[in-house]
Structure 1
């Protein structure tokens, strides 16, 4: 999160629900980065970014927040990685790649500590027409919401992931992938986002005094 003193929301551990007649698996308040294996710091420390558009830049010292009424994507992969800042600090993340995605009512926010006090950068888009993105790569610290996956595979070797272009990780790494992903009531904390293309309909950008984060 942008401010280290703020409390990180608890990650839900609810059990998965199987829905007869529905292709895919649904998790209530599913947190992608909570998949077993991501917590192993020794493994994460040895992983290197290999995604097609994975951030090759040093991340800032602050994460930022993203929310959306829904994210609907095709071609999804994820594996453990490290986001590194200029001072060399590494942070474990779930590096997620989505071939194509639409986000309804997107909000992105970053809380700043300025000499005159706190301020928040707020970017909004997709209230009427969804935001469209291709080859999205997201360094996820935490993701909460109601998620549904089509044809999901959990525990696959990260080097063999093939559902998203360029979404492969290191050999021996823990990976997951799915043909489709849908997340409703998305609440995400992330360190970096890159995209082959990003179409922001109804874009709004404002810097507001005080705390006006997306959630």
Structure 2
């Protein structure tokens, strides 16, 4: 499996955020957020993505809007930003493939009766797939009303609660105030056939 190559383009950031129509915005909006949390302008991403999968996510206090992240070398990536005040993740899997060598690091948690739990979470993601249900969702809000660092006039949405099943997500970075990994299992998988979460 080869690493995806990202190249800087001439993306218009306002247009990118505005084009996040309800269907894709809702699906692309789910995993990690930070309550009252801005996407920090001083965060520099590695340029490498990682994968997150879960059988089910249950979350309260959801917000979503568009944004961008920057690598140390200056390359910029458009991303979807999602915030969730509290979340429970059942059968959580996270994986990252090392660059240039056949090694995959995997983390599993929440595989028994107790899920993994996270609070005040923020995630910057490239994509998300799954089956989502939102409670009291408000679509088309000004993103700057959801987070002060978001661009005024760009697209945003929020909901009281979200449930997503069969979650598969490609992310660039995650922050959280607390992240409790019940039954944590970390493993380094070596070889050309080493598998990621999906």
Alignment of structure 1 residues 8-47 onto 2, 5 Å: 31-32=27-28
Residue among 197, 203, 206 paired with 2:184: 203
- Which residue is 1:3 aligned to? 3
Aligned counterparts of 1:168 and 1:61: Cα–Cα separation in 2 = 22
Aligned counterparts of 2:156 and 2:181: Cα–Cα separation in 1 = 30
- Which residue is 2:197 aligned to? 214
For the 8 Å contact 1:155–1:176, the answer to whether it is kept is yes
State the number of aligned residues.
Answer: 172
- Which residue is 1:59 aligned to? 45
For the 8 Å contact 1:146–1:184, the answer to whether it is kept is yes
| 1:156 aligns to 2:141 (yes or no) | yes
Once the two structures are TM-superposed, the CA of residue 206 in structure 1 deviates from its matched residue by 1.1
Q: What residue ranges of structure 1 are gaps of 5+ in the alignment? A: 6-15, 17-26, 34-50
Cα 1:196/1:53, change in 2 over 3 Å: farther
Q: What residue ranges of structure 2 are gaps of 5+ in the alignment? A: 6-21, 30-35
TM-score by length of 1: 0.73
Once the two structures are TM-superposed, the CA of residue 97 in structure 1 deviates from its matched residue by 0.4
| 1:72 aligns to 2:68 (yes or no) | no
The root-mean-square deviation of aligned C-alpha atoms, in Å, is 2.4
Once the two structures are TM-superposed, the CA of residue 52 in structure 1 deviates from its matched residue by 0.8
